[in-house]
Structure formats: structure tokens, C-alpha cells
Structure 1
Amino acid sequence: MNAGITKALIIGGGFAGMTAAARLARQGVEVDLLEIDPGWRSYGAGISLHGSTLRVLKELGLIDRFMEEGFASDGVEMRGADDRILVTLPTPRVAGPDIAGGGGIMRPALAKILQEAVRAAGVNVHLGTTFSTIENREDGVWVAFGDGKPQRYDLAVGADGLYSSVRAKLFPEAPKPRFIGQSVWRAVLPRPAEITTVTMWMGPNLKVGLNGVSPDLAYLFLTEDKEVNDFVAPESFVETLRALLRKFPSPIIQAIADQLSEEHHVIYRPLEQMLLPRPWRAGRVALIGDAVHATTPHLAAGACIGIEDAMVLAEEVARASTVDDALAGFEARRWERCRMVVENSARLADIEIHGGSRDEHAAIMRQSMKTLAEAI
């Protein structure tokens, strides 16, 4: 049925937007995708993916491409700062018995895989542009972009991230992104032979982790408590991260600190979050991904739930008889799951900042991963 939708607009060419564009186009919808970056680049280092994300990639027919570029593994090891294993958390094989429960990949590599899928699906991609006006009318949603006149669509989807212009237009009173009192350091380096799965070391006011992103490379992340969201000079990134790693007596982490250099692409980002109360739609316009539920990386699920949003939206469009029913069904299926990720991630950050219970920390992670493994 496609809910009477024959033409749709996706605003934002990130992971959620690309997934929505590809899936809707495969359902026979004519899709325009707007991406403000003329190079359609994906910034950042590695990204950790849950089994539920691998399940979506499998449904899109992209799991083989992921396995060529990325790294898959089972379980999560939580260690003390000295390498002592505190707890091992299972990651169910939700994408199938032959696909590991989680994995990692370089962000540009995942972006390239999804870009190829978007192009192959016949999506009309418009780079270096965004919308200038968006208006719900009785006969559809009218959107102008570039220097053109408004065009009519049956559906428009705002997938334009944490600082979403679509959200600002539809919901001017929406909560603003909030700095949570932590920042994250990231780098990419040769994967230590001892690291065969996602591994995290818990230290006082710091947490460091490693996850493979290819057969040879690992993605390093370190969360640091920060009372103030102050500026950190890029020229100090390598030495600052090295000093933070030195606080962990683990021989693995010490060896990483020894080799750390500018070639390991060290980046720094303050952590912010935002959860938009329902509704996530206005008329024929819906919001997905970070535009409605930007989360911190404590559950490594931000990209996961955004990609899931896109798949669920397309599913609801395919089976509903009206646009309103499709968007209502999408929102009903997504709210509780996304709320859980944002709020549980915030609680994990709070425990780390204030020295809370490690048992509670592990229990929240275990329950969250179990929930994310359930059917969408």
C-alpha cells in the first residue's frame, strides 16, 4: 500500500537518512535525498555496532559488504584498570547463527556501503543543499530547496542530526542538546592481538575501550569527566590522550599510550544528549535518528537506533493505508526503545561521573543489550 506515498523527501544523508532513502526507494517510492555536505563525507573514527544493527544490514542485503570492511565479534569484556576481568556480557546473535553478536567498522567505510545502496536503489541525491522552506498543506508537504520553487511530497523525513533544522522548524520549543559532564576521545590504531572482542577498562573518572573495526585495526574510545564544556586545542590532542591513557596500569593500554601519534587520527568531542518528547511528527513530516533521540556512546547504540528508525518507518509506510497511520505506527514502535537507550546511557554516565555502583553499571548494560537484541 505504501500509505498512499509515491514521492518522499529525506533531509539529511547520514546513516539514518541513507537507510530510510534506500529502503523506501526499494518499496517503489520516488525518493529525493538532501545532504548539505557537497562531499557527502562521514567524519569520525570507528563506530561500534550492535547485533540489531547487523540484523538491519542483513535485511538490506549489505551484511557481506560489512564483513568485508569491518570486524565482528561476540561478547563484551568489562575489566578493571589493571586488566582484571570484572564481568563478561553476552551479545546474542540476533542477525543469525552465522553472524556474531556485534562488531565495529570505520565510519567512512559504513557511509560508503550505505551510499552505494542509496545510489543502487535509484534515489535522487542532491548534495550541497538543504531545505529553505517546509510547509504542510492539505494536499501534501511542500518543500523548497536550493534556489528552486517548492515541490510537493507525500512525506518528508528530517534526518538531519543533533542540531536538526527540521526539528527547529517544526518544534521551536523543543529541548536543546544538553552537555552531560563527560567528553570522549577517539583514535584508530593497530588492533592488539589480545583484543578479540569489545573490551572496556573501568578507571576512576575514566573509561577506555577497544573494538575491532577491520581485521587489522581497532577503534579506541576514552570517556573523561569534564565539569565544563571548555575548548581543547587540537594540537594538544595526542599528548592529552596519552596522559589520560597513562592512568591505566593495564599493559595493553600502556603499550597503546607508547605508540600513540598524530597518524592515529585522535579526535575529541564533548558529549551531549537530547530526547524530544512525543510527538515526533507534524502533519506529513517525521523526525528520525539524532534529530529526536541523540544519545551518548555509553551503550554504543546511537547509530543503531537511528538505522532502526529508518527501517521501522519504511515498514509502517508499507503496511499502513494512510500517512498519518504510518507515522503513528512508527512512533508507537520506536518511543520506548529509544527512550530506554537515551535514559540508560545517561544513567551510565552518571554512575561513571559520581563513582556509583559498578554492579548497577554492569546490570544496566546487560539489560540494555538484552532489550536491543529483541525484535524491533
Structure 2
Amino acid sequence: MTLPAQKILIIGGGFTGMSAAILLKQLGADVELVEIDPNWRTDGAGITVSGPSLRAIEAIGVLPQFKAQGAITEGVKIFNAEGMQIKEIQTPAVPNSSIVGGGGIMRPVLARILGEATKAQGVDVHLGVTFTRIKEIDEQVHVTFSDGRSGQYDLVLGTDGVFSQVRQALFEDAPTPQYTGQGVWRAVIPRGDVSCAMQYLGPKGKVGFTPVSDTEMYLYYTEARPTMDKFFEAHELVPHLSSLLEQFSAPEVVKIREGLGASSQIIYRPLEGMLMPRPWYKGRVLLMGDCVHATTPHLASGAGMGHEDAVVLADEFKNGGTVHEVIERFQNRRWERCRMIVTNSGRLGEIEKTGGPKEEHMQIMGISMAGLLAPI
């Protein structure tokens, strides 16, 4: 196969970058990936992975590893604060895949799976390295690196996350991530006999639980905070999260709250989002993932959108044409889907933060999930 671009550089070794590296290498491209973190770490607790996101993980080729090291379950049970079940949401089969249900996995575990697949494909990986200069000359992108090397590439992919240095270097007027007025608490706790994802609706917020392995699940709670200048010391984490859960009298939640401790891996993160207007590229440099469509977690699709970006870019490579035709088709296929996720996730957060209409919340959830099930 003659590829639109043979020599490809990927800047950023997160979920999007690794996914793109795997698929483009499978097509026969010469792929180099640089990652600024010398230890190639991914911080965080668990991650909820929607059925449509699992479809992308299956297309990347790592679904068996996900099943072995994560958890895939069907349905979501909704309870009130006292523990009475009020609803059960079915998780339908995902078109064009073998997926039924949704999943969960520890972020570092998913990163390790993708990292191992990236290396197994033979991608040229350089850790502790980033770019110092990007310049397009005569249909080649000339890049110099922080380790003193330089190279010339047919295509460069910026996948270095929400605070992207590639975006900042090439798009001076690009929007920057904005704090949404919410922060999310996450913790890792024993799964027990929990068979599916669950949510408990309290007077001030909801707490959710997603299985992430045979023995563990992760807890998430989204808290409204007017400013993002509050970061928590280690000794504050358990007392604060415990206080947020006091609104729930459900025996299951009470037991979990009482069991929180140093082993719970509690983390807090302010929520930020941004959607960069088109174009997402400049010449032969294309931005992907959180660089251009960073979303809050309300639709469990942040990482999934990055996986989908990689799948769509590889698909457009197969469709052929020039580099610029491929990039333009990629952008046009991704724009509306990513816009929907960022916008609808943001609105769900606003409704939760302000106590807005629950009917609108349910309507947005329904529309969004139907949209996610559509082909990518």
C-alpha cells in the first residue's frame, strides 16, 4: 500500500498518541513517538470506558488485554441516597463491534497495555524527549528535539494533551482550557460482589462506582467548587471525600465511606475543557485528542474520543489521497462528534453544578449516548 505519508512523528505518548502509533505502524508507516516523561507514566485512578469507546479499543487491537486486566459489565443501576433502586439503564450492543455493555480499567493499566502494544509494533519510541522547533520546508516538516537530534517527516501529529505545547507553538490564537467550576474525586476500593456500574443520587450530588478489575472498582464524585485554586494535602483527602459522602445513607455507600483510607488512592482534579475551532492542522502538522477537544468526564468519553481519532485517521490513510486530503477528511469526520461530546458534557456539568432541570439532564444523556453509538 502506498501511504499518503510514510514517515510520521507523534509528539505525546498518551492514549491518543499510542493508539495512533499502533494503527499507523500496522499500515506500514515509519512511526516515531517522542514523550517528554522519561518514565512514560500515566497518573490517575480508574477510568469508565463507554461501549462506543470499547469499540475503538477493539479496532486498535487491544480488547483482549482490556478484558483480561479490566472489567466489562452490562447495565447501570441508579439508586437514591437511601439505597432504593429507582432505575436501571440498559447498555445496548454497540454496532460494528463485538461490544455489549461498558467497561472500566485503571488508567495506568490501560496505559501499560497501549505502551506494550506500541513497542510490540516496532514504533521508534524516545522517552524524556520533546520538540524544540517545528518548521515546514518543501513539503517536509523539519523538527529539532530536546536531545539534540533532528528529523524530517511527511506528517507530524500533536497528541500532547490538554496543555499542548504543539498547539501553543503553532496556533497562537487557539483557545486555552477553561475551568468548569467542578472538580472530580476518585478513589479505588474493593469491588466485592458488585456486578455492574452503579450511581447513587444525593441531595447535593451523585456518587458512582465502576468495576475496573475482578477485585477492584473505582469511586467518582463530582463536586461544585467556584474556584480551582484549592488543592488538597495528603492528610486532607480522606476527611474531605468522606464528608462529601455523608449525604448518602445507603448502607453500601456508608460501608465504602467508612472503609476509605490510605490504600484508597484518592485523587482530586479540577475539571477543565476546551474545543478548538477548525482548522485542527497547520500544513502537515495535525492536532488530535485533548489538544483540540478536551472534555469533562460526564459522558465517559474523554479518552475514547482520542482512541476514535486514531481509528479515523488510520481509516482515512487507507482511503488514500494526499496528506492534506487525508487531514481534511479526518477533521471533517471528527468535528461534529467531538463538538457534541465537549458541549454536552459541559452542559451536564452546568446542570449538576446549578441544580438545573433533571429532565434536560436525562434528555442530553439520551441524545448523547445515541450519538455515540453511531458509526465513527
Would you call these one fold, judging by a TM-score over 0.5? yes
Q: Deviations over 1:192-241 (max 9, x none)?
A: 42x32221222233221000000110011000010111222232011110
Residue in 2 that maps onto 1:283: 283
SS of residue matched to 1:57: helix
Residue in 2 that maps onto 1:50: 50
Q: Deviations over 1:277-333 (max 9, x none)?
A: 111111001011110011111111000001100111111122121000000010011
Structure 1 gaps of 5+ residues are none
Residue in 2 that maps onto 1:67: 67
5 Å-filtered alignment, 1:178-257, equals 178-193=178-193, 195-231=194-230, 232-257=232-257
Q: Which amino acid aligns with 1:126?
A: H
Offset at residue 2 of structure 1 (A): 5.3
* 8 Å CA contact 2:276, 2:293 repeated in 1: yes
Counterpart CA distance in 2 for 1:98 and 1:158 is: 31
Say whether residues 1:306 and 2:306 are aligned partners: yes
Structure 2 gaps of 5+ residues are none
SS of residue matched to 1:103: strand
Counterpart CA distance in 1 for 2:328 and 2:158 is: 16
Residue in 2 that maps onto 1:271: 271
Offset at residue 344 of structure 1 (A): 0.5
Offset at residue 248 of structure 1 (A): 1.2
SS of residue matched to 1:92: coil
Residue in 2 that maps onto 1:127: 127
Offset at residue 6 of structure 1 (A): 0.9
Pick which of 141-150 and 120-129 moved more: 141-150
Offset at residue 59 of structure 1 (A): 2.1
Residue in 2 that maps onto 1:331: 331
Residue in 2 that maps onto 1:152: 152
Residue in 2 that maps onto 1:296: 296
TM-score, normalised to structure 1, is 0.96
Offset at residue 98 of structure 1 (A): 5.5
Q: Deviations over 1:59-86 (max 9, x none)?
A: 2332111111011011223332222334
Offset at residue 170 of structure 1 (A): 1.3
Cα-Cα RMSD:
1.5
Give the percent of matched residue pairs that are identical in Structure 1 and Structure 2.
47
* 8 Å CA contact 2:57, 2:307 repeated in 1: no
Pick which of 195-204 and 171-180 moved more: 195-204
* 8 Å CA contact 1:5, 1:29 repeated in 2: yes
Residue in 1 that maps onto 2:353: 353
Counterpart CA distance in 1 for 2:250 and 2:320 is: 54
5 Å-filtered alignment, 1:356-371, equals 356-371=356-371
Residue in 1 that maps onto 2:78: 78
Pick which of 222-231 and 92-101 moved more: 92-101
* 8 Å CA contact 1:51, 1:95 repeated in 2: no
* 8 Å CA contact 1:204, 1:355 repeated in 2: no
Cα distance, 1:360–1:167 mapped onto 2, change above 3 Å: same
Counterpart CA distance in 1 for 2:235 and 2:134 is: 41
Counterpart CA distance in 2 for 1:343 and 1:75 is: 25
SS of residue matched to 1:241: helix
Residue in 1 that maps onto 2:117: 117
Residue in 1 that maps onto 2:342: 342
Counterpart CA distance in 2 for 1:139 and 1:336 is: 29
Aligned residues: 375
Offset at residue 150 of structure 1 (A): 3.1
SS of residue matched to 1:44: coil
Q: Which amino acid aligns with 2:267?
A: I
Offset at residue 147 of structure 1 (A): 3.2
* 8 Å CA contact 2:178, 2:272 repeated in 1: yes
Cα distance, 1:65–1:239 mapped onto 2, change above 3 Å: same
SS of residue matched to 2:340: helix
SS of residue matched to 1:204: coil
SS of residue matched to 2:209: strand
